[in-house]
Amino acid sequence: MTVSSAPGKVYLFGEHAVVYGEPAIPCAIERRATVSAEARDDDRVRVTAPDLSLDGFTVEYGGDGGGRPDVNVAKGLVEAGIGYVDAAVEQARDALDRPNAGFDVTVESDIPLGAGLGSSAAVVVAGIDAATRELGHPLDAAELADRAYRAEHEVQDGQASRADTFCCAMGGAVRVEGDDCRRIETPNLPFVVGFDGGAGDTGKLVAGVRELREEYGFAAETVENIGDLVRRGEEILADADPGDDPTADLLSELGLLMDFDHGLLEALGVSSRTLDNMVWAAREAGAHGAKLTGAGGGGCIVALDATRETETALRYTAECEDVFRAELAHDGVRVEE
Ligand code: PMV
Q: Last residue of some domain: 137, 165, 184?
A: 184
Predicted local confidence at residue 154, as pLDDT: 87
d(CA 126, CA 278): 31
Residue 36 lies in a domain: yes
Residue 335 lies in a domain: no
121 and 34 co-located in one domain = yes
User: What burial letters (b/e) apply to 61-81, b meaning 16+ CB within 10 Å?
Assistant: bbeeeeeebeeeebeebbebb
Which candidate in 51, 86, 164, 261 is catalytic? 164
Q: Residue 17 C-alpha to ligand 1 middle, in angstroms?
A: 10
ipTM of the complex: 0.98
170 and 29 co-located in one domain = yes
Tell whether ligand 1 has an atom less than 6 A from the beta carbon of residue 302: no
Contact 275, 296 (CB under 8 A): yes
Q: Residue 65 C-alpha to ligand 1 middle, in angstroms?
A: 34
| Closest C-alpha to 194, from 31, 30, 109, 313 | 313
203 and 245 co-located in one domain = yes
Pocket test for ligand 1, best of 206, 262, 268 (most atoms within 8 A of CB): 206
Residue 90 lies in a domain: yes
Predicted local confidence at residue 71, as pLDDT: 46
Predicted local confidence at residue 37, as pLDDT: 97
Residue 214, C-beta contacts closer than 8 angstroms, at least 6 positions apart:
none
Contact 117, 164 (CB under 8 A): no
Total number of domains constituting the chain: 2
Residue 205, C-beta contacts closer than 8 angstroms, at least 6 positions apart:
16, 270, 295, 296, 297
Position 19, amino acid = V
Predicted local confidence at residue 242, as pLDDT: 86
CATH number at residue 247: 3.30.70.890
| Closest C-alpha to 15, from 116, 150, 97, 109 | 116
64 and 143 co-located in one domain = yes
pTM higher than the cut 0.90: yes
205 and 175 co-located in one domain = no
Residue 77 lies in a domain: yes
Tell whether ligand 1 has an atom less than 6 A from the beta carbon of residue 161: yes
Pocket test for ligand 1, best of 10, 13, 18 (most atoms within 8 A of CB): 18
Residue 333 lies in a domain: no
CATH number at residue 37: 3.30.230.10
Residue 332 lies in a domain: no
157 and 282 co-located in one domain = no
| Closest C-alpha to 42, from 21, 20, 60, 15 | 60
Pocket test for ligand 1, best of 124, 161, 271, 293 (most atoms within 8 A of CB): 161
Which regions in the chain score pLDDT beneath 50? 54-55, 71-72
174 and 307 co-located in one domain = no
Contact 38, 215 (CB under 8 A): no
Predicted local confidence at residue 337, as pLDDT: 77
Is 259 designated active site?
no
64 and 173 co-located in one domain = yes
27 and 92 co-located in one domain = yes
147 and 284 co-located in one domain = no
Q: Last residue of some domain: 184, 202, 232?
A: 184
Domain of 216? 191-326
234 and 156 co-located in one domain = no
Q: Residue 106 C-alpha to ligand 1 middle, in angstroms?
A: 24
Tell whether ligand 1 has an atom less than 6 A from the beta carbon of residue 317: no
Q: Residue 42 C-alpha to ligand 1 middle, in angstroms?
A: 36
d(CA 40, CA 55): 26
Residue 95 lies in a domain: yes
Position 331, amino acid = D
**Beta-sheet pairing, 289-292 with 300-304:** antiparallel
d(CA 226, CA 234): 12
d(CA 309, CA 312): 5
Q: Last residue of some domain: 151, 184, 217?
A: 184
211 and 107 co-located in one domain = no
Residue 334 lies in a domain: no
Predicted local confidence at residue 79, as pLDDT: 55
Tell whether ligand 1 has an atom less than 6 A from the beta carbon of residue 113: no
Q: Residue 122 C-alpha to ligand 1 middle, in angstroms?
A: 13
